Amino acid sequence: MAYAGLINKKIVALIQKYGVNAVGLSGVDGKLWQAKAKKEIMVKDNGKVKLLKGNLTGSVETINTHLINLLIENNYVPVISPPALSHEIEYWFM
């Protein structure tokens, strides 16, 4: 949540410092990104490759381009960060 909160807002503030009207969003806002959860991923931990299940990673499958275009057409620069919404389950993930 650090991306959607603190880091996103710091980037928005920095952009606005240069006179650009920016707005900070996450993939959850307005169903901006919808993704499919990965069932498992391979990770390297201390030189060993391990199978990790039940993680909060996924692949973006749909993007709400209508919302992005609406912002741009009205002179806003969207600053978008994780997380995204999941198609399969009723929660969000990074």
Q: What 3-state DSSP class applies to 22?
A: strand
**pLDDT computed for residue 87 by the predictor:** 61
* 88 vs 44: which has the higher pLDDT: 44
Q: What are the tens digits of pLDDT across the range 30-81?
A: 888 888 777 777 888 888 998 878 766 777 888 999 999 999 999 999 998 8
* 36 vs 4: which has the higher pLDDT: 36
Contact 37, 88 (CB under 8 A): yes
**pLDDT computed for residue 35 by the predictor:** 80
**pLDDT computed for residue 12 by the predictor:** 92
Q: Could you give the CA distance from residue 94 to residue 47 in angstroms, rounded to a whole number?
A: 24
Q: CA of 68: how far to CAs of 33, 40, 53, 75, 80, in Å? A: 11, 31, 33, 11, 10
| Rounded to 5°, angle at Cα 69 from 80 and 13 | 40
